[in-house]
């Protein structure tokens, strides 16, 4: 079963690789068989939510997904999904003032033990020009990554649209070279989903061989 993953309000939902029956574990019930991935995100204006939703939608459709019966659960950090109910986690936050959003930092800190015991991939989204300022990709992302030993920390270009911003945010950006527009790179997001799924399938193959030997 493949469920739609992008709900307008960012509510959690689940998807499974085509041809793979949805496993109860992917909806938080008992475990068996497949690789369950939690994609969990923070977002203020929806850009990062849509990146997380794209990852969650792509992961079960990747070439490697069928090899590890991959299923995905998408949820905002505010729902506090328990990483211990999953085999792997992808956690993302936008960068504001060079920091991750506080709910994402708090979630990472509260679940650090569980994140550190399973493969975890992190991503930040923002509009900074990394070529100009390499410190821009979110100190929190780097710090969280180091503390839990994450597999990767990616920076994805985000979206900055004046009509979505509060008056305070617009004031904060006054006089700063902030490139307005939607800079999200969906091809890069898809490619990362392929990388993550390949890593999970390879790990599963190694585990299966180990169990057989």
**Which spans of this chain sit near ligand FMN (rule: CB under 6 A)?**
43-49, 94-98, 125-128, 136, 158-160, 165, 169, 172-173
Q: How far is the CB of 47 from ligand FMN (least distance, A)?
A: 3
CA-to-CA distance for 143 and 190, rounded, in angstroms?
Answer: 25
Q: How far is the CB of 197 from ligand FMN (least distance, A)?
A: 23
Q: How far is the CB of 46 from ligand FMN (least distance, A)?
A: 5
CA-to-CA distance for 31 and 185, rounded, in angstroms?
Answer: 34
- Which one, 48 or 111, has the nearer CB to ligand FMN? 48
DSSP string, 197-210: HHHHHHHHHHHHHH
CA-to-CA distance for 197 and 98, rounded, in angstroms?
Answer: 29
Q: How far is the CB of 170 from ligand FMN (least distance, A)?
A: 8
Are the CB atoms for 95 and 127 separated by under 8 Å? no
- Which one, 74 or 197, has the nearer CB to ligand FMN? 74
- Which one, 46 or 66, has the nearer CB to ligand FMN? 46
User: Reduced to 3 states, what is the DSSP secondary structure of residue 122?
Assistant: strand
Cα end-to-end span (Å), the chain = 33
CA-to-CA distance for 59 and 39, rounded, in angstroms?
Answer: 10
Are the CB atoms for 160 and 190 separated by under 8 Å? no
- Which one, 43 or 62, has the nearer CB to ligand FMN? 43
Q: How far is the CB of 204 from ligand FMN (least distance, A)?
A: 31
The two tokens of residue 33 are 């068989």
- Which one, 71 or 93, has the nearer CB to ligand FMN? 93
């Amino acid at each position: 079963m493949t469920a739609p993953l992008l709900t307008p309000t960012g509510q959690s939902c689940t998807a499974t690789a085509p041809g793979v029956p949805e496993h109860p574990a992917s909806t938080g019930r008992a475990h068996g068989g497949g690789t369950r991935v939690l994609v969990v995100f923070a977002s203020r204006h929806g850009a990062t939510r849509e990146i997380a939703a794209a990852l969650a939608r792509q992961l079960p459709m990747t070439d490697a997904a069928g090899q590890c019966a991959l299923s995905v659960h998408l949820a905002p950090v505010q729902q506090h999904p328990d990483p211990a109910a999953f085999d792997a986690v992808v956690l993302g936050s936008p960068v504001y003032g060079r920091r991750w959003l506080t709910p994402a930092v708090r979630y990472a800190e509260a679940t650090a033990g569980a994140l550190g015991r399973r493969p975890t991939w992190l991503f930040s989204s923002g509009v900074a020009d990394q070529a100009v300022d390499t410190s821009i990709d979110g100190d929190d992302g780097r710090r969280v990554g180091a503390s839990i030993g994450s597999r990767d920390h990616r920076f994805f270009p985000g979206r900055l649209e004046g009509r979505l911003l509060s008056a305070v945010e617009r004031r904060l950006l006054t006089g700063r070279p902030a490139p307005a527009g939607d800079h999200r790179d969906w091809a890069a997001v898809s490619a990362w989903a392929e990388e993550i799924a390949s890593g999970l399938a390879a790990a599963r193959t190694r585990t299966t061989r180990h169990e057989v030997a």
